[in-house]
């Protein structure tokens, strides 16, 4: 029996998480597991209900669970809230309080979606990248921060800080993942300008000495952003700091045809968190248009990393592949001669294949 705290969040989070739970139900039925879902609030939904983006009750539920499944948070409704009352503070709070320092974001192109990518087929065919993003340090968490008035004008401050230990542990995560893949790590920084990046490069290089089988390279973040579009197949595992990873992983997502395809796992603490990389997309919320595959693929990562259910994870991933091969597409990945379906129908197709295969 596995207990999962479910935080649907805002916008399309409600829809895609609901469909992912149906997939877990299918897995439970096939393999005779029991998944217990504890629903909790975070983000805008929590602000509306209790006035804070991350209630203590939600944190308590997460800590007492085997894993956490999150949909998405945010939306224009809360754009004018003060910084500490913005929905996104829930994400930062979850990462910090659960000790989730390693964000694993795979970006793999499905053969059936080669024509859905905005890049040429020969550029994206065979792309299989994992971005390992440091998640609890850097400019998102640095202090001092804030906005103050000096000499009659507003001045905003954010602080970028990294310690050697923070860099070491995320580097070790990247090298361990690389050992199970093509044994290539590209560390991305801005060491020609930033002291934090200079420490980053020195520390990652030192960690690499322990992994002699892994080929380590270094790349400036601006060049990496270009190379991801120019020649993405050169990459296997990319490891980088918090803000760079946030940007680069979204860029990598578009290689796959849609950000609606990109899953993620946040690891490091006793309880891991799984979520799609996409946002709350309020413009299509409630319209049965959202792509549930990123959330369903996140569930597959949960089965693998938190529950050690390898066969079940492979079943979910295989079902996603087969549904795409059969021509089913949500609007974000639909092309000519494909079968356009909604959020609910896509998940139903995946569940059906899980139970049959």
**CB 357: neighbour CB atoms within 10 A?**
10
Please say if 246 is a catalytic residue. yes
Closest by alpha carbon to 239, among 212, 270, 262, 207? Answer: 207
DSSP 8-class letter at 160: -
- Catalytic residue (one of 246, 289, 315, 332): 246
| Catalytic annotation present for 311 | no
Of residues 222, 283, 311, 325, which has the active-site annotation? 222
Give the separation between CA 44 and CA 52, rounded to whole angstroms.
Answer: 8
Catalytic annotation present for 190:
yes
CA 55 to CA 257: how far, in whole Å? 36
Dihedral-angle region of residue 228 (phi above 0 means left; psi in -120 to 50 means alpha; beta otherwise): alpha
Which of 30, 190, 233, 344 is labelled catalytic?
190
Catalytic residue among 2, 140, 211, 274: 140
| Secondary structure element (H or E) that encloses residue 236, with its range | none
- What are 345's two structure tokens? 């129908």
Report how far residue 83's alpha carbon sits from residue 75's, in angstroms, rounded to the nearest whole number. 14
250 classed as catalytic:
yes
The DSSP symbol for 326 reads T
Which residues have a catalytic role annotated?
140, 190, 222, 246, 250
């Amino acid at each position: 029996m596995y207990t999962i705290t479910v935080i649907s969040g805002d916008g399309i989070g409600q829809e895609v998480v609901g469909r992912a739970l149906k997939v877990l139900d299918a897995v439970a039925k096939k393999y005779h597991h029991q998944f217990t879902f504890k629903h909790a609030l975070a983000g805008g939904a929590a602000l509306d209900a209790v006035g804070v983006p991350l209630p203590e009750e939600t944190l308590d539920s997460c800590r007492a669970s085997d894993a956490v499944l999150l949909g998405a948070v945010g939306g224009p409704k809360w754009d004018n809230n003060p910084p500490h009352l913005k929905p996104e503070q829930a994400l930062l709070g979850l990462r910090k309080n659960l000790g989730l320092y390693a964000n694993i974001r795979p970006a793999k192109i499905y053969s059936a979606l080669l024509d859905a990518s905005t890049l040429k087929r020969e550029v994206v065919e065979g792309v299989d990248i994992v971005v390992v993003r440091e998640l609890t340090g850097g400019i998102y968490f640095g202090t001092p921060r804030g906005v103050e008035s000096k000499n009659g004008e507003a001045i905003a401050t954010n602080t970028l800080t990294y310690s050697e230990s923070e860099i070491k542990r995320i580097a070790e995560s990247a090298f361990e993942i690389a050992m199970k893949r093509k044994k290539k790590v590209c560390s991305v920084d801005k060491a020609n300008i930033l002291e934090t990046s200079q420490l980053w490069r020195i520390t990652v290089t030192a960690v690499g000495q322990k992994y002699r089988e892994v080929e380590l390279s270094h790349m400036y973040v601006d060049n990496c952003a270009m190379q991801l579009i120019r020649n993405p197949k050169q990459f296997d595992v990319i490891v980088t700091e918090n803000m760079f990873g946030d940007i680069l992983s979204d860029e990598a997502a578009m290689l796959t045809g849609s950000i609606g395809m990109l899953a993620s796992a946040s690891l490091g603490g006793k309880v891991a968190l799984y979520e799609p990389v996409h946002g709350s997309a309020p413009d299509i919320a409630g319209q049965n248009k959202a792509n549930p595959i990123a959330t369903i693929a996140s569930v597959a990562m949960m089965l693998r990393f938190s529950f050690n259910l390898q066969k079940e994870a492979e079943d979910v991933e295989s079902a996603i592949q087969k549904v795409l091969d059969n021509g089913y597409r949500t609007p974000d990945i639909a092309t000519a001669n494909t079968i356009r379906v909604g959020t609910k129908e896509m998940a139903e197709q995946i569940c059906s294949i899980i139970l049959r295969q």
